[in-house]
């Protein structure tokens, strides 16, 4: 299998989606937003979204039930490569590693809680006015991802964009990531 898969992992507000979009464009890969794939699968099952599904069946069931949907979406991308935005679950990481072997590169994005809360607050003002503070929302999202093994995924990342780098402008973060990724892409 020659398709390259770049998995992006990180806590909410760390810059994963921005980095994913920019890498997709720069590498001419296809973007697979894992959360969107799972949301669509939850809707097919009659749930209004992921939160409702997780509340009904549990967080781990959410990922277990929709893992195949995510793997199928990545496989269906007919390009030379895929950027998978949102590799949180450890079992998904293992399934990707088994399927794509040396063609998987995982990028972990780390950013401190204060900056992530600020970013989430900026993106979610309507939600925050109705349901609490940016920090409370951040904690809720973090617990969800940590519960399914994201810390283990981050420990096994091939590339880490650290807190000091993740504060940089998105173009610079993308460039740093590409500088670290290109040698890996060439050897895999």
Read off the pLDDT of residues 13-49 as tens digits, 9 standing for 90 and up: 899 999 999 999 999 999 999 999 999 999 999 999 8
8: closest CA among 37, 32, 27, 40?
32
- On the CB side of 160, CA atoms within 13 Å amount to 12
Check whether domain 4-179 has CATH 3.40.50.300, yes or no: yes
Q: Contact, 87 vs 97, CB < 8 A? A: no
Please give the Cα distance from 130 to 181 (Å, whole number).
41
Which residues of the chain fall below pLDDT 50? 128, 130-131
Sheet of strand 30-33: strand arrangement: 30-33, 81-85, 4-10, 104-109, 159-161
What is the torsion angle, in degrees rounded to the nearest 10, for the CA atoms of residue 92, residue 32, residue 138 and residue 123?
A: 180
Domain boundaries, the chain: 4-179
Q: What is the pLDDT of residue 47?
A: 92
Q: What is the pLDDT of residue 132?
A: 53
pTM, to two decimals: 0.89
């Amino acid at each position: 299998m020659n398709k390259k898969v770049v998995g992006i992992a990180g806590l909410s507000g760390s810059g994963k989606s921005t980095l994913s979009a920019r890498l997709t464009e720069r590498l001419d890969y296809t973007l697979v937003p894992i959360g969107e794939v799972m949301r669509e699968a939850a809707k097919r099952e009659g749930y209004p979204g992921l939160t409702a599904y997780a509340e009904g069946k549990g967080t781990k069931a959410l990922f277990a039930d929709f893992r195949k949907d995510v793997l199928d979406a990545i496989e269906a991308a007919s390009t030379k490569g895929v950027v998978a935005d949102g590799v949180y679950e450890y079992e998904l990481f293992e399934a990707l590693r088994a399927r794509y072997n040396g063609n998987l590169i995982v990028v972990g994005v780390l950013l401190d809680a204060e900056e992530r809360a600020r970013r989430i607050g900026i993106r979610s003002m309507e939600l925050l006015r109705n349901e609490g503070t940016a920090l409370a929302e951040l904690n809720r999202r973090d617990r969800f991802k940590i519960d399914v093994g994201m810390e283990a995924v981050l420990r096994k990342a091939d590339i880490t964009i650290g807190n000091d780098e993740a504060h940089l402008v998105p173009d610079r973060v993308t460039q740093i990531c590409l500088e670290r990724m290109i040698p890996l892409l060439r050897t895999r």
